[in-house]
């Protein structure tokens, strides 16, 4: 009889292999790049580091076991999408403030400033600033937007807004496509598992039958 743990291990292997075949992580990374949400590479590296074959956090299988039949029953498969470091916050649904898990977002204004640099944001044009002189008169000064003091001020306001609202406004429906791919991978994994298990069960049965003769 094939043990319960061995059957779960085999099913896990098949599903993990199918997830690799559908290139789930690459799909998310390419969509992020297409939407210009990949900049520093830290998000990409954290996505690529996810291992569905080794981590029960990302691929978890639970079931009961029919000892008489030697079969898994009530199989429950849980697959976590490869969000990586903060990809969840960039998804239309998962990134909602109402879906936030744990403490509130506390983005680093320096990292946002680096993000602005990488995207080339606020590096052209001018901005105006009104100042009150000692004599009470108001004067408007024009500065280049390239000034770090101006751009760091923008980064601070962006960080404060994200922290206050606990979500990022610019998000895309990544999970819709990824969930469809996951469902396909799980179904294919089950098909191969059942085909392989039936063969193993048949071979074991004939071997036991041979021993009894």
Q: What is the mean pLDDT of residues 69-77?
A: 85
Instruction: Please state, in angstroms and rounded to a whole number, the distance separating the CA atoms of residues 172 and 85.
Output: 17
State percent of the chain over pLDDT 90: 22
| pLDDT category of residue 47 using cuts at 50, 70 and 90 | very high
DSSP string, the chain: ---HHHHHHHHHHHHHHHHHHTTHHHHHHHHHHHTT---SSHHHHHHHT--TTT-TTTEEEEEEEETTTTEEEEEEEEE----TTTGGGGBTTTTSGGG--SSPP---HHHHHHHHHHHTTT-SSEEEEEEE-TTS-EEEEEEETT-HHHHHHHHHHHHHHHHHHTS-SS-B-HHHHHHHHHHHHHHHHHHHHHHHHHHHHHHHHHHHHHHH-
Whether residue 13 contacts residue 53, with contact meaning beta carbons closer than 8 Å, is answered with yes
Taking the CA atoms of the chain, what radius of gyration do you get in angstroms? Answer: 27
- Residue 118 has what pLDDT? 74
Q: Does the pLDDT at position 148 exceed 80?
A: no
- Residue 32, token pair as written in the block: 């992020």
Average pLDDT, whole number, for the chain? Answer: 79
Cα 109 from Cα 131, distance rounded (Å): 25
DSSP 41-66: SHHHHHHHT--TTT-TTTEEEEEEEE
Please write the tens of the pLDDT for every residue from 96-118. 777 666 666 676 778 777 777 77
Residue 70 tokens read as 């030697």
Q: What number is the average pLDDT over the span 165-183? A: 84
- Asked if 18 contacts 172 with a C-beta cutoff of 8 angstroms, the reply is no
Give the pair of three-digit tokens for residue 34: 């297409």
* Of 20-29, 65-74, 75-84, 152-161, minimum mean pLDDT range: 152-161
């Amino acid at each position: 009889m094939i043990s319960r743990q061995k059957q779960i291990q085999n099913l896990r292997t098949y599903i993990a292999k199918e997830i690799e075949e559908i290139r789930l992580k690459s799909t998310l990374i390419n969509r992020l790049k297409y939407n210009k949400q990949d900049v520093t590479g830290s998000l990409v590296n954290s996505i690529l580091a996810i291992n569905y074959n080794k981590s029960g956090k990302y691929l978890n299988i639970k079931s009961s076991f029919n000892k008489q039949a030697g079969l898994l029953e009530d199989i429950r498969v849980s697959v976590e999408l490869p969000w990586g470091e903060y990809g969840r916050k960039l998804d239309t649904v998962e990134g909602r403030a109402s879906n936030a898990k744990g403490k509130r977002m506390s983005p680093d204004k320096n990292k946002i400033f680096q993000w602005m640099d990488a995207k080339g944001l606020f590096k052209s044009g001018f901005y105006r600033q009104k100042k009150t002189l000692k004599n009470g008169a108001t004067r408007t000064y024009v500065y280049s937007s390239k000034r770090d003091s101006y751009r760091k001020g923008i980064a601070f306001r962006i960080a404060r807004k994200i922290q206050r609202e606990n979500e990022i406004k610019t998000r895309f429906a990544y999970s819709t496509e990824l969930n469809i791919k996951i469902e396909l991978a799980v179904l294919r994994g089950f098909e191969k598992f059942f085909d392989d298990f039936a063969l193993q069960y048949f071979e074991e049965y004939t071997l036991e039958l041979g021993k009894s003769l």
